[in-house]
Amino acid sequence: MLRNSLSFLLFFVMSMATGHAAFATVDAPALDISPDKEWHIIFNADVDTASVTPTSVYVTNGSTPVPVTLTVAGDTVTVTPHIPYTNGQTYTLIVTPDVAGVVNGERLTLNTAIEKPFTITGGYVVGTAMSDGTFALRDTYATFAEADATRTATESIQYDGKFLKIPTGIAATHPSRVTEFFTAPTLLGREQYGGVEKDTELVYVDSTEQAVAVQVAGQTMYMKQQDTTLIPSAWMTGQSYYYVTNGLLWHAVYRPHKGMYDGAYQIGNAPSFLTAGQRYYSTDGVNFVDAQQRFVGESFAYFQYVSPRTPTTYTAAQLNDIIYTQLLQREQSGAAQYQHATTESPLLGLGDTLKDIEAEVDVNALFILALAIHESNYGMSCHAKHYHNLFGLHVTDGNAVCTVPADTTNVKYFETVGDNIRAFISRITDYYINPNAMSDYRYNGAALGNKMIGMNVRYASDPYWGAKTAGHMFRLDQVLGGQDYEAYTLGITTQRAVSVRKMPTVSAERAYQYNIAGSIKRFDRMPLTFSQTVAPNDWHRLVSELANGDDVYTAPDNARIVQTH
């Protein structure tokens, strides 16, 4: 323990008199101060409590005031930080002449102000995060291991003002960049599973000095301490939640660093077990708990997990009609971003192109349209209008500026919107939904998915990209008559190694197999779409993930049917 190692600095004496005050060396810099330092200032007379205010006794870090609690007891003023001081920083304790006391019946003040510089060095602080935003310090230790060994179930560990371990709460990803997550606390490159966008809230599980365990899409994953901000439950000011309105499921996303919610987005119909007027929580959008953390049910958002290899029932003319009506609605909203949408959006008239591509490569036309809407803001983004780039292809951090007129020599420029769509389709069919590319990091199952399975694992850092795109598909489908919704039965694999065969027998040739030796992919949860034609025996008949492929089969024990919403 470090607290008592510097006990000679725990107090200093000040005199209030008509002449010069006797301060000795109280204004000399103090070094090697622990982060939980409490100053006890002892005067030569009882202190007038009313004279001790945040402007008469305070602590600064440079020119920035530091929140402290001031306590007066007789001749002593105690100065306690709300949260531990930061390691390596130099602070100044300031006592002004406004502090007063009574000496021999006479009210006196200090003759001059006193400034006491002190520097913080080392220490893992153990204490309790209080609901009023303060931190009740208990003790300071030289190592994380020592601090963790004495920590109770309700206490936290801080170092340099950063929480390293908390009882319960959330973990926020880095405030300004994508945060990688790993399958093991060793955080090795081969264990890296994906990335989550900046300022994303994740449920906290546990932590070591180097790694933080969190829930990512329903699975325990690990992030680097330096990329993560832990917020104990007592300090939480918001949390992402799901709710039901008019039978529809909405998701309100909280941004911990900003301390505010995004606008809620609609996913689709609500599961039957969710009730309007309640808040529900889920780390994967599939398994839901109520406000008391009681499990209430499992259900998969249909358009988020149906295979893009299934065709839409809608014609090119119907798609053109829905594109125009959606653009008209937004144009009539009066929002500046949708001004002239019905004449300028490159989505106009794309129905024929989308249906042609669907016939050529077996990728659902409504799926492509929903993605284009989501990625290009209904075709009204700068890159969509001026670079014919609906999907942000080649729009990297280093190539993100959209110039007008367009730089036609830039790799992100396409001659036509059709060229852009075909380039996008080539990318996803070569890798993201191609089982023959199963060893490629981009393949994680043929569905929009989430951060554990499907395209969302590697295509987008936004963990809700799959759900948001599915929401667009749902809304388009509902306006068109709801013919695509739940047209197929969905399921997931239940084994780590699942053979998918050309015929419903174990002796039949494999079409493909969910299995790679040593892989960290979740082959035991791959999304499956069951064929509309029933298999002749107990085998599961599936929509093939291969382009222009016939239906395929897997054994009964390899999959289970799931509830959808």
- As beta bridge partners, residue 229 has 172
Q: Are the C-beta atoms of residues 282 and 289 closer than 8 Å to each other?
A: yes
CA–CA separation, 333 and 352 (whole Å): 27
Identify the pLDDT of residue 26: 59
User: Does 247 score more than 80 pLDDT?
Assistant: yes
Q: Which amino acid is at 521?
A: K
137 pLDDT band, cuts 50/70/90, is confident
Cβ–Cβ under 8 Å, residues 129 and 70: no
Question: DSSP for 224-280?
Answer: EGGG-EEEEGGG-----EEEEETTEEEEEPEETTTTEEPPPEEEEEPPTT--TT--B
Cis upstream peptide for 405 (omega within 30°):
yes
Please tell me which residue, 52 or 10, carries the higher pLDDT value.
52
pLDDT of 308 strictly over 80 = yes
What mean pLDDT value characterizes the chain?
A: 93
Element (H, E) at 424: helix 417-427
pLDDT at 538: 92
Answer for the pair 553, 540: CB distance below 8 angstroms, yes or no.
Answer: yes
Cα-Cα-Cα-Cα dihedral sign, residues 404, 407, 412, 416? positive
pLDDT surpassing 60 at residue 196 = yes
Q: Is the pLDDT of residue 106 over 90?
A: no
Half-sphere exposure of 161 (CA within 13 A, CB side): 12
pLDDT over 90 (residue 121): no
Tell me which of 4 and 319 has the higher pLDDT: 319
- 111 token code pair: 């003759």
User: In the chain, helix, strand, coil percent, each to 5?
Assistant: 25, 30, 45
| Residues sharing a CB contact under 8 Å with residue 116, sequence separation 6 or more, in sequence order | 12, 26, 27, 30, 39, 92, 93, 94, 95
The confidence score (pLDDT) of residue 489 equals 98
- Residue 458, classed as helix, strand or coil, is helix
Q: Which domains does the chain have, with CATH numbers?
A: 3-122 (2.60.40.1220), 126-235 (no CATH), 241-299 (no CATH), 316-480 (1.10.530.10), 490-561 (2.30.30.40)
Mean pLDDT on 112-139: 89
Say if residue 25's pLDDT is above 50. no
Mean pLDDT calculated for residue range 532-554: 94
SS3 146: helix
pTM metric for this prediction: 0.83
- Whether the pLDDT of residue 104 is over 60: the answer is yes
pLDDT of 12 higher than 60: no
Residue 9 confidence (pLDDT) = 30
- Please compute Rg for the chain using Cα positions: 31
Q: What per-residue confidence (pLDDT) applies to 496?
A: 93
Q: What tokens were used for 1? A: 């323990």
Q: Is the pLDDT of residue 10 over 90?
A: no
